[in-house]
Every structure is written in structure tokens, then in C-alpha cells.
């Protein structure tokens, strides 16, 4: 009875406020050998939300003081209150004109919502330390590498046909070790990851020198029956360890109560593959390394998909969050055999995100030396989920985004939703840091699992996976 009631609530929530966004305009195909390739549409005009790193209240602070603050440890934390006031003003103005000039709902400016935004800003401020800001020579080096990468990719036709940039990996021999984490038993897969940037590609030797990255890792919970569906859960930036990812994706419930097989690949430079102490090494100002990181991640995810199919798996869905949502969106353009693709608080445009978060002086310098600009956007076509049409059917796609997300931003999630032809979606009044603690987001994820895969060997107890009411 509880399960039937849950499904009734889920079906009532399928049509989630279609009036919240206008129909997506048709996007013309980019000339090239692949008719599925699309131009990347810049995000600033698509949605009426702030996409500059500085709010009007921040720009009132003298430039010299702002520049000095950017160089002081934790000084960015002092900018939390001005930024919070700027965000509140932005949302308030939108609420006065919504829905006439906005594609997203205007959230209620409650103390809880403002606190969640402040939490995102505090985390961002802690990461924006002087050691993470590039020096002048480093900016010039990355700008030169991006220009070389543009020539390299253009000569091989990858800018016109980004799908050709991603080669199909072989499935190597896997080593399987039985382990447990906080009472959850799982298998730890490891293998030799054979990814390498192409010959002559900028940054190739630097990437291959990260030796800890050359071993692939994945955590698996599976049933003995061969017909169980598989869910691949792709983590976000800075995680990739069982204690974090098992909690984030609620893998014990997915495995025991819904009866799914669950696999959690570890992305490059994360978890046991980290190359040092930093948690954000995957996405830094070094945009060439970011390209290699994403391409390597896609290589490893496709390796794991091949292994699942060798085990007899025929039904496979992918759920990624944050950075994992980004790779989920790319994977959906490369593998037509996926049963569903679900992206939570995703990134979709790395150069735009970098411009959003960079201090104003760094953005200006980045444009001067080519770290930001048209060349960078063109180069990132090879790892952009917006340049190719997804192969997963539209009714099997889903996007959810947090209206108060100050990290990957709601604007990026909205761009993916438009590109994916406005599939199942949920916009909720939360932030990035704690998004899967939000009852509305958790409810939406559970609805998608039930609709796409149902339950296997579970009882009405599966309805307890999330009992929060759905909202339209």
C-alpha cells in the first residue's frame, strides 16, 4: 500500500510546472562530418540569473582592496555577506518580474534558504586561497597550451566532430577484492587504466606523469541474479571514497531495498587516485589538464560499462552529481545503450564556470593571454555535453538543480535541461553543498528510479527510501 501511494505521488509530480520555462529554441547544427554536432550556445543570455563572479555590491569595493583580498588566506570569507546581499537582491528583483523574464522559479527568500547560500559561499571562500590562484607565467603557459590544443584538435577534425575525440577503451582484466565500509559489504575493482592523451596533444607528458592515476578503481554492490538492473553512480568533485559516496547515493538502500546492482567508479585524481593532498586537483585554472581529466574519466566510465556488459548486465542507468553530472551528460552522448541518464546539480560549461568564479582581475588577465575567450570555448567542445545530441531517449533523461547553487549554478543545470529537450526535472530551493539532503531533490531522484527501473525483489519497504511528499 505504501509503495502504491508513493507511486501515485510520483506520477502526480511528473508534470513539474511546465510554465516555468519557455520552449527551447531549435539549435542549428554546426557544419561538420557529424550531423549530431551542435554549436555551444553561451549561457549569459539564456537565463535571468547572475553569472558574473562579482555582484553589484562587490564591485562597489575599491579594486585595490578586492585584489589584495584575493591574495590573503581566507580573506574571501569576508566577502560572504556582501555576496549574500547581492544574491538576495538578484532573487528579489527576479521575484518581482517572474515569470515574465525568468526561466526558473523565483525561490522564497527564507532564512533557511539564505543560510544555504551562505554555506556555499563559505566553502567557496575557503577554496579560494592564494595557493590556488595562478601566477602570471602560469596563466601565460596555459593560454599558450590552449592555443596549441586548438590547432591540434582542429587539424584532426575534433572541433567539428567531438565524438571522434573519445576512443572506445578495451575492457582489461579486473582485480576484485572483498571489502566493507561501515557495515556495507562491497567489491573493490581495480584495473590498469590505459588512457593517454593523443600524441602531440599539449599536456600529454604532464598528465601521464600522474602515476597514481593510471590505476582505475570502482566500488560494486551486486546480486547473484544476472537479470538485475545496474545503476552507475558518479560522484562529484573531491570525493571518490566509499564512506562519502555510499552515503551520498544511499547505495545500501538502492542495493537492498530496490534490488539494484550498484557500481561507483572513482574519477581521475579522486579517492585512491589522488596525486597529492589537494581535493580540487581535477578542476583548477589549468584548463588543458581539465580536458585530460574529463576525457580520462569518460574512458574509465566506458571501461566499467563494458565490464558490466561482460557480466551479463543489459539494463544500465547512470546518475551523476555535480562533476559526475557533467560526465553523465557527456556519457549520454556517447552510449546509446544506457537505460537512463540522471544529472544532479551538473556542470556543463567549464570555461563559463571558471569565468563565474574567477576574481575580476584574473578574468581580465585570462582574456588578455587567451586563458579565457573564444579559443578556450572552442577547445572545450571536445568535452562539452552541449555539442552533441544525447543518445538516451528524452523520456529517460532527468535533470535537477538547486536554485541557490553558488558552485555549479542553477544556470548550468538549466542549460542542460534545454539541451536535453526539457525532460523530467526538478528545481528546488537548496544549495550545492547539501543538495541531496534536500527532501525535494531526494524525492525526485527516488521517483526517477521507480519509474525507470521499478523494484526488484523488494517489498513495500522500498517506499521508505524516501517518504517526503513530492512537490510540483
For residue 170, pLDDT over 70 is answered with yes
Instruction: Please give the average per-residue pLDDT across 26-34, as a whole number.
Output: 39
Residue 147: the pLDDT is 94
Residue 456: the pLDDT is 77
Q: Whose CA is closest to 250, among 271, 238, 264, 237?
A: 264
Compare 25 and 340 and report the one with higher pLDDT. Answer: 340
Do 389 and 396 meet the contact criterion of CB atoms below 8 Å apart? no
What would the pLDDT profile of 332-344 be if each residue is shown by its tens digit? 999 999 999 999 9
For residue 13, pLDDT over 60 is answered with no
Residue 78: the pLDDT is 53
Residue 33: the pLDDT is 43
pLDDT band at 375 (very low <50, low <70, confident <90, very high): very high
For residue 39, pLDDT over 50 is answered with yes
Most distant pair of Cα atoms in the chain: their distance: 65
d(CA 379, CA 397): 26
What would the pLDDT profile of 284-311 be if each residue is shown by its tens digit? 788 999 999 999 999 999 999 999 999 9
For residue 258, pLDDT over 60 is answered with yes
User: Measured in whole angstroms, how far is the alpha carbon of residue 47 from the centre of its chain?
Assistant: 19
pLDDT band at 448 (very low <50, low <70, confident <90, very high): very high
Averaged pLDDT score across all residues of the chain? 80
326-342 burial, b at 16+ Cβ within 10 Å, e below that, comes to bbbbbbbbbbeebbbbb
State what percent of residues in the chain have pLDDT above 90: 53
What would the pLDDT profile of 391-437 be if each residue is shown by its tens digit? 999 999 999 999 989 899 999 999 999 999 999 999 998 999 888 88
Compare 438 and 102 and report the one with higher pLDDT. Answer: 438
Strand ranges (E), 316-371: 316-321, 340-344
Q: Whose CA is closest to 104, among 16, 169, 35?
A: 16
Choice among 38-42, 166-170, 251-255, 339-343 with the minimum mean pLDDT = 38-42
Predicted TM-score (pTM) of this structure:
0.81
What are residue 24's DSSP bridge partners? none
Dihedral angle, C-alpha 429, 431, 434, 436, nearest 10 °: 50
Collect contacts of 44-48 with beta carbons under 8 A, ≥24 apart: 44/352, 46/103, 46/411, 46/414, 46/415, 46/418, 47/102, 47/103, 47/104, 47/410, 47/411, 47/414, 47/415, 48/94, 48/101, 48/102, 48/103, 48/104
Residue 385: the pLDDT is 96
Compare 313 and 52 and report the one with higher pLDDT. Answer: 313
Is domain 1-472 annotated with CATH 2.40.50.100? no
d(CA 351, CA 358): 10
Compare 154 and 281 and report the one with higher pLDDT. Answer: 154
For residue 75, pLDDT over 80 is answered with no
Instruction: Please give the average per-residue pLDDT across 361-372, as a whole number.
Output: 78
d(CA 180, CA 182): 7
What would the pLDDT profile of 270-286 be if each residue is shown by its tens digit? 999 987 655 556 777 88
Instruction: Please give the average per-residue pLDDT across 185-209, as a whole number.
Output: 96
Residue 320: the pLDDT is 98
State what percent of residues in the chain have pLDDT above 70: 72
For residue 35, pLDDT over 60 is answered with no
Compare 330 and 31 and report the one with higher pLDDT. Answer: 330
What would the pLDDT profile of 80-94 be if each residue is shown by its tens digit? 555 555 555 555 554
Residue 450: the pLDDT is 94
Amino acid at each position: 500500500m505504501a509503495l502504491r501511494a508513493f507511486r501515485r505521488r510520483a506520477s502526480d509530480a511528473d508534470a513539474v510546472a511546465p510554465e516555468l520555462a519557455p520552449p527551447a529554441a531549435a539549435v542549428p547544427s554546426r557544419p561538420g562530418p557529424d550531423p549530431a554536432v551542435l554549436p555551444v550556445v553561451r549561457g549569459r543570455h539564456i537565463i535571468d540569473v547572475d553569472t558574473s563572479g562579482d555582484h553589484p555590491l562587490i564591485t562597489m569595493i575599491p579594486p585595490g582592496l578586492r585584489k589584495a583580498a584575493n591574495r590573503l588566506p581566507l580573506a574571501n570569507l569576508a566577502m560572504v555577506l556582501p555576496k549574500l546581499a547581492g544574491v538576495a537582491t538578484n532573487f528579489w528583483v527576479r521575484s518581482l518580474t517572474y515569470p515574465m523574464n525568468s526561466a526558473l522559479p523565483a525561490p522564497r527568500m527564507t532564512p533557511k534558504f539564505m543560510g544555504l547560500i551562505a554555506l556555499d559561499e563559505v566553502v567557496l571562500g575557503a577554496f579560494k586561497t592564494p595557493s590556488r590562484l595562478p601566477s602570471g607565467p602560469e596563466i601565460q603557459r596555459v593560454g599558450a597550451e590552449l592555443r596549441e590544443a586548438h590547432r591540434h584538435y582542429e587539424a584532426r577534425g575534433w572541433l567539428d566532430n567531438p565524438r571522434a575525440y573519445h576512443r572506445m577503451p578495451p575492457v582489461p582484466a579486473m582485480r576484485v577484492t572483498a571489502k566493507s565500509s561501515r557495515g556495507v559489504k562491497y567489491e573493490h575493482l581495480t584495473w590498469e587504466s590505459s588512457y593517454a592523451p593523443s600524441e602531440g596533444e599539449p599536456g600529454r607528458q604532464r598528465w601521464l606523469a600522474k602515476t597514481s592515476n593510471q590505476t582505475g578503481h570502482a566500488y560494486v554492490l551486486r546480486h547473484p541474479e544476472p537479470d538485475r538492473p545496474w545503476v552507475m553512480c558518479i560522484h562529484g568533485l573531491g570525493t571518490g571514497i566509499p564512506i562519502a559516496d555510499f552515503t551520498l547515493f544511499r547505495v545500501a538502500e538502492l542495493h537492498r531495498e530496490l534490488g539494484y546492482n550498484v557500481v561507483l567508479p572513482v574519477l581521475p585524481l579522486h579517492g585512491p587516485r589522488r596525486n597529492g593532498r589537494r581535493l580540487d586537483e581535477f578542476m583548477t585554472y589549468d584548463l588543458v589538464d581539465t580536458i585530460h581529466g574529463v576525457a580520462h574519466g569518460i574512458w574509465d566510465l566506458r571501461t566499467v560499462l563494458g565490464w558490466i556488459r561482460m557480466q551479463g548486465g543489459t539494463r544500465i542507468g547512470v546518475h551523476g552529481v555535480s562533476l559526475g553530472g557533467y560526465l553523465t551528460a557527456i556519457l549520454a552522448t556517447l552510449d546509446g545503450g544506457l537505460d537512463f541518464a540522471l544529472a544532479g546539480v551538473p556542470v556543463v560549461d567549464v570555461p563559463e564556470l571558471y569565468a563565474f568564479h574567477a576574481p575580476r582581475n584574473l578574468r581580465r588577465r585570462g582574456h588578455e593571454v587567451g586563458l579565457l575567450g573564444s579559443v578556450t570555448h572552442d577547445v572545450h567542445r571536445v568535452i562539452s555535453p552541449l555539442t552533441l545530441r544525447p543518445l538516451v531517449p528524452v523520456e529517460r533523461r532527468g535533470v535537477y538543480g538547486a536554485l541557490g547553487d553558488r558552485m555549479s549554478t542553477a544556470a548550468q543545470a538549466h542549460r542542460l535541461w534545454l539541451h536535453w529537450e526539457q525532460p523530467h526535472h526538478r528545481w528546488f530551493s537548496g544549495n550545492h553543498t547539501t543538495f541531496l539532503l534536500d527532501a525535494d531533490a531526494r524525492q525526485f531522484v527516488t521517483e526517477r528510479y521507480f519509474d525507470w527501473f521499478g523494484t526488484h525483489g523488494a517489498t513495500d519497504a522500498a517506499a521508505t527510501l524516501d517518504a517526503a511528499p513530492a512537490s510540483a
